[in-house]
Structure 1
Amino acid sequence: MSDNTALEDATGAGAHPPDAAAPDPKRWLALTVVLLAQLMVVLDGTIVNIAMPSAQKALHIDDANRQWIVTAYTLAFGGLLLLGGRIADYVGRKRIFLIGLVGFAGASALGGAAQNEAMLFSARALQGAFGAILAPAALSIVTVTFTDVKDRAKAFGVFGAISGVGAAIGLLMGGLLTEYANWRWCLFVNIVVAAIAFAAAIPIVQESKAEGNTRYDIPGTLLSSIGIAALVYGFTEAAKTGWSSTGALVSFSIAAVLLVGFVFLESRLTNPLLPLRVIWHRNRGGSYLTSIILGAGMLGMFLFMTYYFQGTLHWSPLKTGVAYLPFSGALIVIAGVGSALLPRVGPRVMMTFGGLLATGAMAWLTQLRVDSSYAGMILPAFILMAAGMAFVFVPLGNTSLTGVANHDAGVASAVLNTTQQVGGSLGVALLNTVFTTAVASFITAHGPAQAVQGAIHGYNVAFTVSAILIGLSTLVTFTMIRKDSQNSIETEHVDATAGTPAPVHVG
């Protein structure tokens, strides 16, 4: 296996089972086990999103710090995903899959039992770290288990679909558990799911691992992960003490030094965590940049609409979860339409159109009021945002692999998921800072009696910034994505999920 790949075997490139002519007779059972683990990870995101207001209130988390419920997870997941793929390949995919399940369940138990914000944030970071080894291990198990191209396509089709369906299930479960049990059960439920998957995986899933050089780029992992964490922490400090405060400026400076150091290091290593040739290609680079900026902009809707529903409209967690269902349903349906349209219109047209729709949805939400109608105001924005995201994410898997060499296909696929997580982390931190700053300024100008109106003002300002970010991602798409003669890549050379919308983690 080449040193320049991180998830090569996890996505099909470089994965060679011992006997490709003899399909595993338990392959469909193995897929069921992997899907159960994937469902757990997807559920965790949407369940936690619904439970956030209750957890914040129970643990007395202030508005400036609440974003760490999301970003602690996404930072760890995105920052360690590339390394996690290498660990799964080298140590053994089944072994790491089992370790990931146990670790994810243990971290969920820790989070469910959290007595303060530090304990919850730490548990969420642990969940992200174990998720970063669990996700690529699950993908690689599917790839090496399904040796037939048609079977593999079916398997990954189901794998992609479970993300959309799981998100909808998570919204309902989050509402039910938070309202009728306790927000803590939104984390405890992972223990049950992980235990079932663990018990089933032992007799069903076969072990496999890559041979050859097994060196890891630990310095690159540390520089990138700590650098991104410092950047997010800088936004948090800015929300508390102002953009020009010593804490914020020091954090931003540390982030700049570490991230520049990461790029310099990766250009010098023979086995880098991220081969820079992967991102310098115009279409691939444009795709990753689009993914980061779009991820930063779109998560504002999930974060602030949840607080609007529960905090301003005083809806129950269950009603909040139900309110998101049209979004999930529309995303699944429109993604299918987008897959059929992609060969006809091409990625640039579809992604640009989708970006404009998503920008329009966020601009629409800037008109939110205390008594806005769900059917007349919020639902249209949800449907518009779902359409926009579907039209962007369906082609994004393909453009992020434009012209990529066979031995770089794995890392190119992994970078796309990583950029979504990192973009989401930065976006939540930035938008939460914008929100708290806007609310504080409004209350200072109008008095504490206008706190409710101040929150609405904060939402609208945050949505405005979100619209700007999504609009910027659309501009990047329009200017950088081009048709390429190598845009059509053989299935066995790329991530088998490239034709499906990438999973969006909102928790």
Structure 2
Amino acid sequence: MSRRARYLALLVICLAELLVVLDNTIVNVALPSLGVELHTDISGLQWVVDAYTLTFAGLLLAFGHLGDRYGRRRVMMIGLAGVAVMSVGGALATDLGQVIAARAAMGVFAAAVFPATLALIINIFTDVKERAVAIAAWTAMAGIAIAIGPTAGGWLLEHFSWHSVFWINVPVALVVLVLARLLIPESKTTHVGRLDLLGIAFSLLSVTTLVWTIIEAPHQGWVSAISLSGYAMSVVFFAAFVWWELRTDSPVLNMQLFRIRRFSLPALAIAVAYFSMFGFLFMITQYFQGVMELTPLQFGIHSLPFAAAIAVGAPLATLIAQRIGTTAVIVFGLVVMSVGMFIAGQVKVETPYLGAVVVSMVLMGLGLAIVQGPATESIMSSVPLEEAGAGSAVNDTTREAGGTLGVAVLGSIVASVYTTKVGPRIDAIPDFLMTPYEKSFARETVISVLEIVKRPTVPAFAQQKADLVYAMKAASLEGFQLASYVTVSVSLLVAVAVAVFLPWKPAAESVLLAWKEPSAK
């Protein structure tokens, strides 16, 4: 391929990635409108988001393997077509069950797209320096998509109904589908053994069980019988997966890869980076909407510094890692994220946006970009070209697992502190001022402030309402502070682990050498 053809292919691949990642975030902004029209509760709205996450995370490894066998472009194109069709289903849905089913199906097809994007890049860009640039672009696109989702969703809701967050996927997916057929070369492994159906089944069961348990843990209780059973089942399925993969001739995932420190430790760093980032985005979303009382579009615009930081940091970090080594860059990125999260935890109700809030967003964006680009490049450089899809799927699965765990754990911490602080005050409010449903909603999230502020109040109770609103905002930020300390501790611990166990010398330039000489890693 010519240089021009390679970069045109990269552009199309990044557009496919943008569609998948954006769809994972844009729907969040539409949840309030969707809930009002379909008359659903908070739990139902959470499953609109989580249904996508569950199927997406559970099938990444399986589709990465299938792409290696049958063609990465082919599997990606099937995924794009499926996303378009299921988006139509979501747009035409008339009840919550239909929306959740459409989102789950979209997650299935998105899982076919995502591992193929990175695997195709690795096979198209064989030169080490060009590959680093391509991975940096891929990394920047993923982060930007996460950050601009609220802006895009907010704009759509300013002009259209919640159905628009589904309709927008259809033309984009179809255009990318045509461009992929025209501009992206096919690639697949040359040596194909028997399809590892049992390995695919065990991987699906282990990841899906774990993600479902994490999603439900805040509702069921982290140490409830249901949650503990879920953890146990996930461990059993995972143990069965490892046992089988070590014994079969054609594994869906070569477990020997985890003996390579340049593969396993960067994967851990990515998981923790996304644990921090998704937890941060969860908290900043509640801050912008509940504390600052911004509209969805205003919220999206205020979050743009995060996207800009990722766009700047990703290319620079990957190229610098080529010179000074991956370890130093990953450690630095985790420390930067820790500083950003610590600053975010110090925000108070009165804190101005142009100050600690912007600084924390910029540092979190830079830290994520600094970690993800070099870590991804290290992971994929440790994988032989024949297993690029499986390696990409591991990279993607660690991101999803880390992000899901971040929202669940940090969200649970925030909710626990918030409910403890405001619950008694809300319970003391007479029913003629707040209905039981309104009280329940107010106890769950600070975003309920938006409804409380809009509701007409007689002058005699105006001060009490103002005091309640302030107490709700302050309680949520106390929860954010505790969650930030947990995140900082986890990030710094992993930074130390990477600094101690990951080699500091820059990796060899050859992908083949990285695979053939794991002891040098």
> Which whole-Å deviations, capped at 9, do the CAs of 1:114-142 have from their partners, x for residues lacking one?
44544333333322221121234445556
Q: CA deviation at 1:152?
A: 7.2
Task: Tell me the equivalent position of 1:255.
Answer: 234
Q: Which residue of the other structure, out of 332, 340, 343, is the alignment partner of 2:311?
A: 332
- Relative distance call for 1:405 and 1:492 in structure 2 (3 A) is closer
Task: Tell me the equivalent position of 1:467.
Answer: 488
Matched, 1:176 2:197: no
Counterpart of 1:437 in 2: which secondary structure? helix
Q: Which residue of the other structure, out of 172, 195, 218, is the alignment partner of 1:239?
A: 218
Q: Which residue of the other structure, out of 395, 402, 409, is the alignment partner of 1:423?
A: 402
Distance 2:12 2:250 in 1: 33
Q: CA deviation at 1:70?
A: 4.0
Q: CA deviation at 1:31?
A: 5.2
TM-score w.r.t. the length of structure 2 is 0.79
Q: CA deviation at 1:414?
A: 3.4
Distance 1:494 1:193 in 2: 37
Q: CA deviation at 1:79?
A: 2.6
Matched, 1:352 2:331: yes
The one-letter code of the counterpart of 2:480 is Y
8 Å CA contact 1:283, 1:480 repeated in 2: no
Distance 1:235 1:491 in 2: 36
8 Å CA contact 1:358, 1:389 repeated in 2: yes
> Which whole-Å deviations, capped at 9, do the CAs of 1:197-229 have from their partners, x for residues lacking one?
334555666666555535332322332333233
Matches within 5 A, 1:26-425: 33-56=12-35, 58-59=37-38, 62-63=41-42, 66-139=45-118, 159=138, 162-163=141-142, 166-167=145-146, 170-201=149-180, 209-213=188-192, 215-401=194-380, 407-408=386-387, 411-425=390-404
Matched, 1:490 2:515: no
The one-letter code of the counterpart of 1:246 is A
Distance 1:405 1:306 in 2: 40
- Relative distance call for 1:368 and 1:165 in structure 2 (3 A) is closer
The one-letter code of the counterpart of 1:103 is G
8 Å CA contact 1:179, 1:316 repeated in 2: no
The one-letter code of the counterpart of 1:257 is V
Where do 5+ consecutive residues of structure 1 fail to align?
1-21, 496-507
- Relative distance call for 1:203 and 1:104 in structure 2 (3 A) is same
The one-letter code of the counterpart of 2:502 is I
Q: CA deviation at 1:46?
A: 3.9
- Relative distance call for 1:302 and 1:113 in structure 2 (3 A) is farther
Q: CA deviation at 1:422?
A: 1.8
Q: CA deviation at 1:289?
A: 1.8
8 Å CA contact 2:150, 2:296 repeated in 1: no
- Relative distance call for 1:299 and 1:29 in structure 2 (3 A) is closer
Say which is worse superposed, 323-332 or 266-275, in terms of deviation: 266-275
- Relative distance call for 1:438 and 1:39 in structure 2 (3 A) is same
Distance 1:265 1:138 in 2: 28
Distance 2:7 2:378 in 1: 30
Distance 1:388 1:175 in 2: 26
- Relative distance call for 1:408 and 1:200 in structure 2 (3 A) is closer
Distance 1:439 1:276 in 2: 43
The one-letter code of the counterpart of 1:463 is S
Distance 2:146 2:103 in 1: 18
- Relative distance call for 1:31 and 1:384 in structure 2 (3 A) is closer
Say which is worse superposed, 128-137 or 107-116, in terms of deviation: 107-116
> Which whole-Å deviations, capped at 9, do the CAs of 1:459-488 have from their partners, x for residues lacking one?
333333333332333233223222357x12
> Which whole-Å deviations, capped at 9, do the CAs of 1:9-54 have from their partners, x for residues lacking one?
xxxxxxxxxxxxx769977665554444233223323423443454
Say which is worse superposed, 149-158 or 354-363, in terms of deviation: 149-158
More helix by share: 2
Counterpart of 1:420 in 2: which secondary structure? helix
8 Å CA contact 2:245, 2:253 repeated in 1: yes
- Relative distance call for 1:332 and 1:208 in structure 2 (3 A) is closer
Counterpart of 2:168 in 1: which secondary structure? helix
8 Å CA contact 1:359, 1:470 repeated in 2: yes
8 Å CA contact 1:294, 1:469 repeated in 2: no
The one-letter code of the counterpart of 1:350 is V
8 Å CA contact 1:104, 1:127 repeated in 2: yes
- Relative distance call for 1:345 and 1:68 in structure 2 (3 A) is farther
Say which is worse superposed, 22-31 or 421-430, in terms of deviation: 22-31
- Relative distance call for 1:302 and 1:60 in structure 2 (3 A) is farther
**Larger RCO, structures 1/2 (Cα 8 Å, 6+ apart):** 1
Say which is worse superposed, 32-41 or 282-291, in terms of deviation: 32-41
Say which is worse superposed, 454-463 or 381-390, in terms of deviation: 454-463
Counterpart of 2:351 in 1: which secondary structure? coil
- Relative distance call for 1:367 and 1:297 in structure 2 (3 A) is same
Counterpart of 2:244 in 1: which secondary structure? helix
Distance 1:405 1:64 in 2: 43
Counterpart of 1:400 in 2: which secondary structure? helix
The one-letter code of the counterpart of 1:457 is E
8 Å CA contact 2:26, 2:149 repeated in 1: yes
8 Å CA contact 2:54, 2:208 repeated in 1: yes
Counterpart of 2:309 in 1: which secondary structure? helix
- Relative distance call for 1:200 and 1:337 in structure 2 (3 A) is closer
Structure of higher CA gyration radius: 2
The one-letter code of the counterpart of 1:312 is V
